[in-house]
Amino acid sequence: MNASIIDPLQGDFPEVIEEYLEHGVMKCIAFNRRGTLLAAGCSDGNCIIWDFETRGIAKELRDKDCVAAITSVCWSKYGHRVLVSAADKSLTLWDVVSGEKITRTILQQTPLQARLHPGSSTPSLCLACPLSSAPMIVDLNTGGATMLPVSIPDSNPGLAPPSRNKISDGTPPFSPTAACFNKCGDLVYAGNSKGEILLIDYKSVQVLAMVPTSGGSVIKNIVFSRNGQYLLTNSNDRTIRIYENLLPLKDGLKALNGLNETLNSLDDVEKLKIVGSKCLTLFREFQDTITKMHWKAPCFSGDGEWVIGGSASKGEHKIYIWDRAGHLVKILEGPKEALIDLVWHPVHPIVVSVSLTGLVYIWAKDYTENWSAFAPDFKELEENEEYIEREDEFDLIPETEKAKESNVNEDDEVDIVTVDKDSAFSDSDMSQEELCFLPAIPSPDAPEQQDKCLESSSKLVESNNSGSPLSEEGRPNGRAMNHASSPLEEDPGATRVKRKRKPSEKWLDLQL
């Protein structure tokens, strides 16, 4: 993209709240693969798709059957589908472009989190983590749910065999277990209440490896980085642990099976631990030793270089940013509202957080004027350079025509057509069409405004700079507060709650 002219000297993580989005009470958010669309689940059962570039609403997915709060949203790999889990125990799969519901499945319990299979563009399988039982693989077409084992078979002989029908057969309740797919979706990584990370082959419903975490406390979240190379767990002992994934990114299952075979002689639990040690190694641990706070919604940045975690303390909206080496680089503080969800943009240094009041805050880098952008031959230097003037620098010599030296061979061939491959999306399958944006259909002006052509200038007495103040009043949706009319007035340092609309001086001067 435009990486070549963006100043690399500024750090790659956000610093201030740039804007906030408001529409109903939003509970959970998810970016699509390229970060051009943001899906937000609301407390009234609707799912809103925001166009992240215009910060406006691109689509609303409404289902009259579902009025319970949404607990999680998840995109399919190329952005065509969105899976929404709600407090009324349902999982709804939506087609994004048409805004139509594809399937709706009711489970035995409310799923706290539901993840679509990451490998295909029209996934039919999803991983659901219910409120108080083991995570399950749900086939969205048939509605069938397969429970996954969350304990090593030997240590819990009472574990009922996994059932392929919807009816639960009296398995003892577990505390909520966190689980996620690996990058290509052939394995499920689950973190159980004993603090063990289990690698599960969901097709054969078997635990293939186990990695114990030190301290053995309940794992609350488990999530992979975008490139699949790092795994993060958030435990009840207030520690975030980063593991490095040693399995190959593709065919991880095959490699795991291979490892299992070589160790057939050992007894089961030991074997699982040894295989586990070949799949994940502990890389880092993060905790706040001073306040010992619990973390909420930790995740990686898009390139895996940074880790963020939200503070789970009530009444504060704090986001901690660490680099992968373990150093705390920044603490972002927002308004005094608890944080309930947090995501990092897949590509840009932008973080989006959801507060308890239902507002979505967008954090971005503080813009500092790049002075070298204002003249073609300005260059930014890292530090002061000693300038040694030439002997004749200030002599008065008759001006000789300075030949504009072009040290570029003008006969070189110039390629105006070939497009560079975007390295951030290395496994883009070009045969699959990715949904990057939803078509923007201009909403028609109300009829009476169209006739007012040149009268417009005198009518704009209202203090705002945006296009048509008359049409703003006419449309009473909650979006009027989303857009700042003119970021020229922004004061990047402060934590803004609402942007002030001030007329620019020039506009007032030219009032005719």
In the bound state with other proteins, the residue whose beta carbon lies nearer, of 283 and 437, is: 437
Is residue 467 at the binding interface for other proteins, with CB under 8 A as the rule? yes
Closest approach, Cβ 349 to other proteins, in A, equals: 12
The correct pick among 51, 63, 88, 285 for binding other proteins (CB under 8 A) is: 51
Of 175-204, binders to other proteins (CB under 8 A) are none
In the bound state with other proteins, the residue whose beta carbon lies nearer, of 390 and 402, is: 402
The correct pick among 155, 262, 281, 457 for binding other proteins (CB under 8 A) is: 457
Please state, in angstroms and rounded to a whole number, the distance separating the CA atoms of residues 32 and 39: 8
Is residue 486 at the binding interface for other proteins, with CB under 8 A as the rule? yes
Question: Is there a contact between 286 and 237 (Cβ–Cβ < 8 Å)?
Answer: no
Is residue 391 at the binding interface for other proteins, with CB under 8 A as the rule? no
Question: Is there a contact between 131 and 109 (Cβ–Cβ < 8 Å)?
Answer: yes
Paired with 189 in beta bridges are 180, 199
Please state, in angstroms and rounded to a whole number, the distance separating the CA atoms of residues 32 and 477: 25
Paired with 125 in beta bridges are 139
Closest approach, Cβ 493 to other proteins, in A, equals: 16
DSSP 372: G
Paired tokens of 8: 């690399």
Packing angle, helices 268-277 and 252-262, rounded to 10: 130
Is residue 68 at the binding interface for other proteins, with CB under 8 A as the rule? no
C-alpha R_g of the chain: 27
Which sign does the torsion angle of CA 471, 474, 478, 480 carry? positive
Is residue 401 at the binding interface for other proteins, with CB under 8 A as the rule? no
Is residue 501 at the binding interface for other proteins, with CB under 8 A as the rule? no
The correct pick among 396, 430, 488, 494 for binding other proteins (CB under 8 A) is: 488
The correct pick among 396, 397, 417, 461 for binding other proteins (CB under 8 A) is: 417
Paired with 232 in beta bridges are 223, 242
In the bound state with other proteins, the residue whose beta carbon lies nearer, of 215 and 467, is: 467
Is residue 476 at the binding interface for other proteins, with CB under 8 A as the rule? no
Please state, in angstroms and rounded to a whole number, the distance separating the CA atoms of residues 82 and 47: 9
The correct pick among 267, 412, 448, 491 for binding other proteins (CB under 8 A) is: 412
496's CB contacts (< 8 A; 6+ apart) are: 17, 20, 490
Of 431-450, binders to other proteins (CB under 8 A) are 436-437, 439-445, 449-450
Paired with 221 in beta bridges are 234
How many residues of this chain interact with other proteins, rule: CB under 8 A? 66
Which sign does the torsion angle of CA 165, 166, 172, 173 carry? positive
Is residue 5 at the binding interface for other proteins, with CB under 8 A as the rule? yes
Residues that bind other proteins (CB under 8 A): 1-2, 4-6, 36, 51, 53-56, 58, 367, 369-370, 373-376, 378, 406, 408, 410-420, 436-437, 439-445, 449-450, 453-454, 456-457, 460, 465-468, 471-472, 475, 479, 483, 485-488, 504, 506-507, 510
